[in-house]
Structure 1
Amino acid sequence: MSTTNEYMRFFPYDAPYDNQQEAMDRIYNGLSRGQDVVFEGACGTGKTLSSLVPALEYAREEDKTVVITTNVHQQMRQFVTEAREITRKEPLRAVVFRGKGSMCHIDVDYQECQVLRDNTYEVVDTERDKQELERRQSELLEEMQEGDSDAADARSAIMDELEQIAEEVENLRETNICEHYYNNLTEDTGEFYQWLYDDVRTPDDIYEYADQRTLCGYELLKDGMEGVDLVVCNYHHLLDPTIREQFFRWLGRDPEDVITIFDEAHNIEGTARDHASRTLTENTVDSALDELQESDDFRSESGYNVLAAFQRALKTTYEDSFGFGEREQVNENWRDVSIANDDKRDDLTLNFLQEYTGKGIDAELDDALALGKELDQQYEEAYKEGTATTRKECQTLRAAQFVKSYMDEGAELGQYPVVAVRRDDRTDEVYGRAELYTCIPREVTKALFDEVYATVLMSATLRPFDVLSDVLGLTEPVTLAYGLQFPEENRRTFAVETPALFASERGNPETQETIAGVLSDTVRFTAGNTLVFFPSYAEAERYRDLVDARIDENLYFDEAGTPVEELRQRFTADDDGVLFTSLWGTLAEGVSFDGDDARTVVVVGVPYPHLDDRMDAVQDAYDRVFADRSGRDSGWEYAVEIPTIRKTRQALGRVIRSPEDFGIRVLLDKRYTANSVREMGKYSVRETFPPEEREEMIDIVPEKLKFAMLNFFTDEGAWDGEPPTP
């Protein structure tokens, strides 16, 4: 077992926070037993290093690689900062990996890139053969000149080969290749790798370095990942099974030799669900039918028959869903059409069965799949040989694969069939999309957690741990939870007894007046900036207009068209501003508002997600899979309430980020109050918070909040000049 001195070599600062040492010990011990670790630590308490330091130590002892991942850009930058600090103290080979799309110098898609890569490699390989033959014929020429009679015959044969290979090189040079990758293969890239490991380089650093030298930075990075100690990457490199397999191959590692660390792990559930879901648009089916009509293969008739029936069924399904005037209301955003049925297959499947006539759906889909694979290979060869300027994707293959999955899996538990519609802003035509939406994320995550050596999941908001383990498929993980370790006297958390902002209550003028008044008081009696989160951007806009006329402070509004980082910088540069945004936006997590950046954070209402048919399907799936013997409503609790309160807790964590920091957190809705537990029953959310957070909540009536805030900031000596008068 490691001692403190051994793993602390990776700790880059003078001393850890109080609980960091304990967390590092427990995480190291968990890893040494091969256990997964679920680690909740309050915002600003050093979770990244608490997880990373013991993982790096164990990985070095046991010859493993650590992969740390997030889906929040701000956290990615933080990982780079921490890795750089570690390398200042302890030698560490670290790379920061990003997808090909953002690193490609010639802007081609994945399939085109693969063809260009294969072609380029073949060109270089053939040129090397040619160079070897040229070297050999030169040697034989010298031997001839020295009187070796056998050398002449050998050289003649070599010259014949050279003539053939020169023609081959010339032909290959006419195919599509990538000059950047060609230079990777033909130039000495040792200088790049020396530069790469001299520090922790970002993907932007690598792109710029490679672009200046006409190299492919993405391929250089892939080739340089083998044997590294640490990789920083995005969620999709681990959650997508196909990408994960390639990713581990680039690392030169078997899965059991990889330790994964997921930051902001409360986001895994939704991200995994998105990765598992599959879609097929009506436009893709149209392209597949055109493709099949152009083919003279005998299987094209079968493929056309089955896909045309699916196309008609899709169109019938969404057209039948429109009520009077609804078709005209469809805009450029996808809008779901409910097609699920309780006691039979979904409407799209039923319409497909009604539309289809032929020798059999399975048999004709098999024909379409076989033909699609052949066509796809032909497209690749055409691009490879240079007879096509782009790598065409086979739409028949894509459509047939989806329809087969839809028919085979659409009725399985956890699969929710959906149809959606949108309007094409170029043609003004309405078209549809079929989708298999995956409700249960552990179908994606459990396989990952089972195959890697161990995983650390960290976030400020993971509890309750049993729910997280159920949803993601973890088996008896080590669990750690640390609340805010900073002085309690430096913060207050108020639960304000304003009306419960149910959807039916939000339009009530009296309620709006009450909320606007409390918000105005909160802004006025904050000694510094105020950050306000709403259940939606529409609510944020509503109260922006109601509050703006009541306050003198500068008001900032997070709206479409305003870059979020630019808005954040303008807000934090102020010393008396208020920022209105949605809790479902990008400012609610992974973004720090340290010190004077924000002194008060407000969450208005209980920001439940939009409760649509998809969410109903998730609730139903969770009810069936996670039925609790205690009688709890697993679907609502697991799928809606707990994720919502995690979001709320994330927003509250935007302020008070260090031991010296101070501030106020305000929950503006009586469902957060202690009285609501008794008065509102299941509509109360107070009990969903962890115990130590509930204990800090102070219930307060709206008219008293300003006095409490005035007293707090006065005690902190925070006012610049005279405080406001209540």
Structure 2
Amino acid sequence: MSDPAPSESAADPDQRTVPRAGLDAAWRDLFPFDPYPQQVDGVERAREVMDDGGYLLLEGACGTGKTLIALVAGLQAIRDGAGERVFAVTPVKQQLKQFVTEVRTLNRGREEPFAGLVLVGKGDLLPYARTGAFPGDGGVHDASSRMREMTAKLVSRESTLSLDVAPDALDGRIEVCGDESCDRLSYSEGRCPEHRGERDEEAPWYDPLRAEALCELVESLDGPRLKTAGESAPYPADPPHTRDVLDVYDGGDLPAGQAGYFDPFYARFFADEGWVGFGFERGEAHVLDADAVVAAAVDRGVCPHESMAALMPEADVLVGNYNHAFDPKTRRLTREKAGVLDDGTLLVVDEAHMLEERVRDLLSETLSLHALRTAHRDVTLAREYLSGTGGAPGSDPETHRRHARKALSDFSGVDERDLEVAQSFLEWLADAIDGEVSTYLREEYGDWQRRFREGSLPEADHELPLRDPEAVETDRLTAAAREAFADDVWRRMRDVGAAVAAVHDDDGQTDRTPVCDAVGTLLWRWGTADHARYFREVELEYSEKALEDTTLPDWASAYNADLVLFNCIPQEPLARVFDELAGGVVMSATLEPFDVYRQVSGLALLAEDGRDGGDEDGADAGDDDRVPRRVETARYGLGFPEANRASWVLDVPPFTYRNRGDPVVEYDGMTRTRRAYASALVRLARGHGNTLLCLPSYREAEWAVEYLREHVSKPVLRDRSSDSSETDAMLARFFQGDDTHRVLVTSARGTVTEGVDYRGQRLHCAAVVGVPYANTATPRMQAVMNAYGRTFSEEGRETGFETAVQVPAVRKSRQAFGRVLRGYDEVGVRVLLDRRYLAGTPRSVNDLLGEREREEFSAVSPDMLDLALERFWGRQRQA
């Protein structure tokens, strides 16, 4: 399908809004105020594309109102039957909040408000995680998994654990085993598990009466109650333990693997059989955010995370981050558990210029040496079970053997010989990683052990490429494995891993959670994924620690090692995601060049030839029966008066590493190029109002801060790579509504140049120093450029450097200077400091700017910058 020219808003820029009363549009009652002309056009275009199940690539300058365009178009599409829900995803927390604000604005005054739900992770929802009461070491995921597994054992229909309740509890609803020789409680069943016979496959795996009895036991425990989100739970502040609820004298009487902490909130969800007990009315303007979900769920004693999942299918608008739509693990839960990522879902991708970079990381896979060794242990134990020689002291080896052989018989393509080969292969692979790391450390540091003991070993991480990143060839591990084993050893690991996992899962005498299934799948991917699109390496993370395991390599005391299967170009996985959904809007202030974006996002695969984006191992899989999807583009420039802005390119030498030299603060010690930039930054910082200066890196930003504080009277604030709370505090200082103007210095590749709202008088000048290229010296980036060069060489782009590095860098610049003008009456200056932004200069990036930007930005010489600033602000004072 051809790519039509992007539409440009043809509305009169001096026409501020279009009266809703005069709109002949079905969606006009959805809009909360009179829309801008470009918003009217944008909604109509998005609706038209959504009706055809397509995607609209929408580039709109800051202030266009892209969020409202997408939401109103999507909600009208739901009305018209073109979808069931809108799912908006963004990688920027500020933008997530903006979506929530807009949905609430749309809902206010409506008799039938739209149901909105914000999706967040377990750490923000699980009550014991929020209060810091999770027991043991490890993160939220590990702790919650352990507690949930124990909860599942307590509420399972097949559980033989006796809760400390009387038969007349729960108003006499608890059953006693119907077998004449047994007086055990059977809860909602007629007989206990020992006398039940065949399990009813239609009944759920859990017993709601067991779960209800468990919750009542926990409610009766002494101690202060858990409090979070302004609500008090019916359960204790500390997680309960099985010894608190089982009919045993003390914890020592509990069977192995059946003693531990559990989650009563999770149990209550099963006691109520998935009934949440609250709805969207508990959220402000019918939108449930994390605090609202937690408050409502904690008040009832039900799990907030499970409540969120249960409410997802009922929501009209879902708001989340990229993980919910594109991360394979999170997506699987969103799609399969909640059932909301399907052909009824209209997707809105916000800040879409980040999609390629963020998803590349999400779709890359890692395998730690620890996981590899654990998988080896899984296989070893499975082989012992199969031989009748395995099991913990006191267990019955014959029972292990019987369970193992039964489980293995379900895998027709896997036998005991395959397990033996897999065990040897995992041993070989661990030794191969050891060899790679040991060789690298010797070559890099010589006697690295001595340096480590002395404390002189740099605390740095390292990439160990397993092939030339600028070539397409088989990596060393894959090639060596083919010599040591059969050619299909990597492929076989997926089947073996699944079979071994089944052996452990079906064994009735152990509580082991195997990792071999996941490890086997990753090794299968490693051996089958395309070598041009996937780059293989060993990643070393510095992590000093004491080692108790003498079987580990000596370098493990200083480093963690991971195998990394890095996804260089994620267009095909993205195409699969887009193709599963009903259509939508992919939007940003910076998507141009559209031809590049269509390719790297995978949308061109949907539009051009009907491919489905390939199969799971990265190979292309054509689908001649699939109808190509409609993919169109729309572009809206600044719809504000041009007289309110000045746009300049400062004609100074390129701010490259070679030109600028070291970041010295003494003027006499600077290179000529750095002097030119230092002088220009001082002039900009001394100018009118609040000034945002965006350097190509945080290191250069540090230099600018130090220099400006010596030469500028305004307060100079420094942004650095930090957590969100520190960044928010810094921005609050910059936005203070007093008479003092400030300078904020940051990296153009940082967080405050994207998704932050500098509305009104918050910002008067935004300047970008240099072209903020990513570091191209790393093996991964070299592999990415190589993959892009090979994939897009026929798309009119000469090199992988242009597609993979230059285009994203210029988008970063456009995002940064786009902060300054957000509304019709706002006034500001946009400056690009580097002559490479001019047309016709060596290594020019001018053609990568937006079309309107190429027209508006004019060259200014350094000696004329003061005069240009004075004249512009003088005109504004006279207006």
Q: TM-score, structure 1 length as denominator?
A: 0.86
Q: Does 1:483 align with 2:637?
A: yes
Which of 333, 356, 369 is the equivalent residue of 2:497?
A: 369
Alignment partners' CA distance in 1, 2:815 and 2:176: 75
Q: Which amino acid aligns with 2:85?
A: T
Alignment partners' CA distance in 1, 2:328 and 2:179: 48
| Residues 216-242 of structure 1: CA deviation (Å, up to 9, x unaligned) | 111112112223211111111111345
Q: Which amino acid aligns with 1:583?
A: A
Contact 2:478–2:527 (8 Å) recurs in 1: yes
Q: Does 1:568 align with 2:731?
A: yes
Bigger mean CA offset, 511-520 vs 318-327: 318-327
Structure 1 counterpart of 2:782 = 616
Contact 1:124–1:186 (8 Å) recurs in 2: no
Alignment partners' CA distance in 2, 1:332 and 1:280: 22
Q: Alpha-carbon deviation of 1:302?
A: 3.7
Structural mapping, 1:596-607, within 5 Å: 596-607=761-772
Q: Secondary structure at the match of 2:319?
A: strand
Alignment partners' CA distance in 2, 1:718 and 1:596: 18
Contact 1:60–1:229 (8 Å) recurs in 2: no
Structural mapping, 1:416-495, within 5 Å: 416-427=535-546, 428-474=557-603, 475=607, 476-495=630-649
Q: Does 1:35 align with 2:54?
A: yes
Q: Secondary structure at the match of 1:76?
A: helix
Contact 2:60–2:636 (8 Å) recurs in 1: yes
Q: Which amino acid aligns with 1:419?
A: V
Q: Does 1:499 align with 2:586?
A: no
Which of 233, 236, 255 is the equivalent residue of 2:342?
A: 255
Alignment partners' CA distance in 2, 1:559 and 1:197: 34
Structure 1 counterpart of 2:121 = 99
Structure 1 counterpart of 2:671 = 509
Alignment partners' CA distance in 2, 1:238 and 1:324: 41
Using a 3 Å threshold, how does the CA distance of structure 1 residues 400 and 192 change in structure 2: closer, same or farther?
same
Bigger mean CA offset, 66-75 vs 343-352: 343-352
Alignment partners' CA distance in 2, 1:492 and 1:136: 74
Q: Secondary structure at the match of 1:225?
A: helix
Q: Secondary structure at the match of 1:279?
A: strand
Contact 2:717–2:743 (8 Å) recurs in 1: yes
Q: Does 1:703 align with 2:703?
A: no
Alignment partners' CA distance in 2, 1:454 and 1:117: 40
Contact 1:492–1:665 (8 Å) recurs in 2: yes
Q: Which amino acid aligns with 1:620?
A: N
Contact 1:335–1:422 (8 Å) recurs in 2: yes
Contact 2:492–2:524 (8 Å) recurs in 1: no
Which of 709, 714, 718 is the equivalent residue of 1:553?
A: 714
Using a 3 Å threshold, how does the CA distance of structure 1 residues 687 and 376 change in structure 2: closer, same or farther?
farther
Contact 2:773–2:809 (8 Å) recurs in 1: yes
Bigger mean CA offset, 440-449 vs 317-326: 317-326
Q: Which amino acid aligns with 1:98?
A: V
Q: Secondary structure at the match of 1:106?
A: helix
Structure 2 counterpart of 1:82 = 102
Alignment partners' CA distance in 1, 2:39 and 2:535: 42
Using a 3 Å threshold, how does the CA distance of structure 1 residues 180 and 366 change in structure 2: closer, same or farther?
closer
Structure 2 counterpart of 1:402 = 522
Structural mapping, 1:296-445, within 5 Å: 296-297=384-385, 301-322=420-441, 323-325=443-445, 331-332=458-459, 334-341=461-468, 342=471, 344-353=473-482, 356=484, 361=489, 365=493, 369-370=497-498, 372-374=500-502, 377=505, 393-409=513-529, 411-427=530-546, 428-445=557-574
Structure 1 counterpart of 2:686 = 524
Using a 3 Å threshold, how does the CA distance of structure 1 residues 570 and 628 change in structure 2: closer, same or farther?
same
Alignment partners' CA distance in 2, 1:469 and 1:400: 34
Structure 2 counterpart of 1:219 = 306
Structure 2 counterpart of 1:639 = 804
Structure 2 counterpart of 1:115 = 149
Q: Secondary structure at the match of 1:531?
A: strand
Using a 3 Å threshold, how does the CA distance of structure 1 residues 366 and 232 change in structure 2: closer, same or farther?
closer
Contact 1:76–1:232 (8 Å) recurs in 2: yes
Q: Alpha-carbon deviation of 1:364?
A: 7.5
Alignment partners' CA distance in 2, 1:555 and 1:570: 11
Contact 1:137–1:155 (8 Å) recurs in 2: no
Alignment partners' CA distance in 1, 2:457 and 2:638: 47
Q: Does 1:54 align with 2:139?
A: no
Q: Which amino acid aligns with 2:811?
A: R
Alignment partners' CA distance in 2, 1:234 and 1:248: 15
| Residues 310-350 of structure 1: CA deviation (Å, up to 9, x unaligned) | 11111222333343527568655532122214364223334
Which of 247, 262, 266 is the equivalent residue of 1:181?
A: 266
Q: Which runs of 5+ in 2 are unaligned?
A: 1-22, 130-139, 194-209, 215-241, 247-257, 388-415, 547-556, 608-629, 662-669
Alignment partners' CA distance in 1, 2:638 and 2:264: 53
Q: Secondary structure at the match of 2:711?
A: coil
Contact 1:93–1:197 (8 Å) recurs in 2: no
Q: Alpha-carbon deviation of 1:618?
A: 1.7
Q: Alpha-carbon deviation of 1:301?
A: 4.8
| Residues 589-636 of structure 1: CA deviation (Å, up to 9, x unaligned) | 000112222211111110000102222222222222222264x31422
Q: Alpha-carbon deviation of 1:451?
A: 1.5
Alignment partners' CA distance in 2, 1:208 and 1:126: 34
Contact 2:117–2:318 (8 Å) recurs in 1: yes
Q: Which amino acid aligns with 2:52?
A: R
Structure 2 counterpart of 1:23 = 42
Using a 3 Å threshold, how does the CA distance of structure 1 residues 52 and 626 change in structure 2: closer, same or farther?
same
Using a 3 Å threshold, how does the CA distance of structure 1 residues 155 and 136 change in structure 2: closer, same or farther?
farther
Alignment partners' CA distance in 2, 1:332 and 1:649: 35
| Residues 352-383 of structure 1: CA deviation (Å, up to 9, x unaligned) | 456x469983597468515541365269x78x
Q: Alpha-carbon deviation of 1:99?
A: 2.3
Bigger mean CA offset, 235-244 vs 86-95: 235-244
Contact 2:498–2:520 (8 Å) recurs in 1: no
Alignment partners' CA distance in 2, 1:511 and 1:669: 10
Q: Which amino acid aligns with 2:310?
A: D
Alignment partners' CA distance in 2, 1:120 and 1:450: 41
Q: Secondary structure at the match of 1:485?
A: coil
Alignment partners' CA distance in 2, 1:96 and 1:509: 51
Using a 3 Å threshold, how does the CA distance of structure 1 residues 645 and 349 change in structure 2: closer, same or farther?
same
Q: Which runs of 5+ in 1 are unaligned?
A: 140-153, 720-726
Q: Alpha-carbon deviation of 1:271?
A: 2.0
Q: How much identity, in percent, do the aligned residues show?
A: 28
Q: TM-score, structure 2 length as denominator?
A: 0.71
Q: Alpha-carbon deviation of 1:430?
A: 2.9
Alignment partners' CA distance in 2, 1:623 and 1:592: 36
Task: Report the RMSD for the aligned CA atoms in angstroms.
Answer: 3.6
Q: Which amino acid aligns with 1:586?
A: T
Using a 3 Å threshold, how does the CA distance of structure 1 residues 321 and 717 change in structure 2: closer, same or farther?
same
Q: Secondary structure at the match of 1:480?
A: strand
Using a 3 Å threshold, how does the CA distance of structure 1 residues 135 and 158 change in structure 2: closer, same or farther?
farther
Q: Alpha-carbon deviation of 1:692?
A: 1.0
Contact 1:225–1:250 (8 Å) recurs in 2: no
Q: Which amino acid aligns with 1:19?
A: Q
Bigger mean CA offset, 686-695 vs 286-295: 286-295
| Residues 412-436 of structure 1: CA deviation (Å, up to 9, x unaligned) | 4311112221221324423422111
Q: Alpha-carbon deviation of 1:245?
A: 4.4
Structure 2 counterpart of 1:723 = none
Q: Secondary structure at the match of 1:219?
A: helix
Contact 1:302–1:367 (8 Å) recurs in 2: no
Structure 2 counterpart of 1:145 = none
Structure 1 counterpart of 2:845 = 685
